[in-house]
């Protein structure tokens, strides 16, 4: 009988996640003195594969909890700092416009050669459309933090720092990522994480977060 990816992931992390006590001891070992309440919240977040929303005033160790978790579990840390005006292009992906322009010039130089044997105008147009689609494919994508986290095949720790500084529109955008660990890219399709990241959202309570976001998270106040 083969094990599921989730079971394999749990097995890989089991030395530190066998119990709340083991997690507390492990965090202490990497320099984070965790109370039982903090360790329990983190333990449940990992086991349930749910994001954990860590609230509290500045300087109480919210960000450090994510950094210590990554160090303890030996996972890469991907950090996204939130700010007013943060949008999808800065958080998810951008197109490599310079590379697109370079390839456009190459295509322009080769266009006559490529279309010279087309039997009709319709056939020539079909070829042009096919060439144009290449510019909006994965090799031309510049991944940003959210996409990088979803692309980590062995998992990672994703820190969405100071989510309360972002706009409500960005908060709404996050809902798909946090509920299904996937995003929809119009030109490519749905990108889904093979191994869901361990997600920390931190908040200094600059503004009230939406109920929809809160319902997707476990809560921890430090």
3-state secondary structure of 185: strand
Residues in CB range of 29: below 8 A, 6 or more apart = 72
State residue 185's pLDDT score. 77
pLDDT, tens digit, for every residue of 88-136? 878 887 765 555 455 566 666 555 555 555 566 565 556 555 555 555 5
Residues in CB range of 68: below 8 A, 6 or more apart = 27, 30, 31, 32
Mean pLDDT score of the chain, rounded to an integer?
A: 80
State residue 105's pLDDT score. 63
pLDDT band at 11 (very low <50, low <70, confident <90, very high): very low
CATH numbers and ranges of domains, the chain:
49-92+144-221 (3.40.50.300), 94-139 (no CATH)
């Amino acid at each position: 009988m083969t094990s599921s990816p989730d079971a394999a992931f749990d097995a890989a992390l089991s030395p530190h996640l066998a119990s709340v006590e083991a997690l507390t001891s492990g965090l202490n070992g990497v320099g984070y003195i965790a109370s039982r309440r903090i360790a329990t919240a983190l333990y449940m977040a990992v086991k349930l594969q749910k994001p954990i929303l860590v609230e509290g005033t500045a300087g109480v160790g919210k960000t450090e909890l994510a950094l210590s978790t990554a160090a303890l579990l030996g996972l890469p840390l991907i950090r996204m700092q939130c700010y007013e005006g943060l949008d999808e292009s800065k958080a998810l992906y951008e197109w490599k416009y310079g590379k697109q322009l370079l390839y456009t010039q190459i295509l322009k130089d080769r266009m006559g050669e490529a279309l010279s044997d087309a039997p009709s105008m319709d056939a020539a147009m079909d070829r042009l459309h096919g060439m144009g689609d290449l510019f909006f494919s994965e090799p031309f994508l510049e991944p940003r933090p959210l996409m990088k986290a979803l692309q980590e095949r062995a998992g990672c720790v994703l820190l969405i720092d100071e989510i309360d500084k972002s706009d409500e529109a960005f908060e709404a955008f996050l809902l798909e990522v946090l509920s299904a660990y996937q995003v929809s890219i119009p030109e490519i399709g749905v990108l889904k994480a093979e191994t869901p990241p361990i997600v920390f959202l931190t908040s200094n309570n600059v503004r009230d977060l939406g109920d929809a976001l809160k319902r997707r998270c476990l809560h921890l106040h430090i």
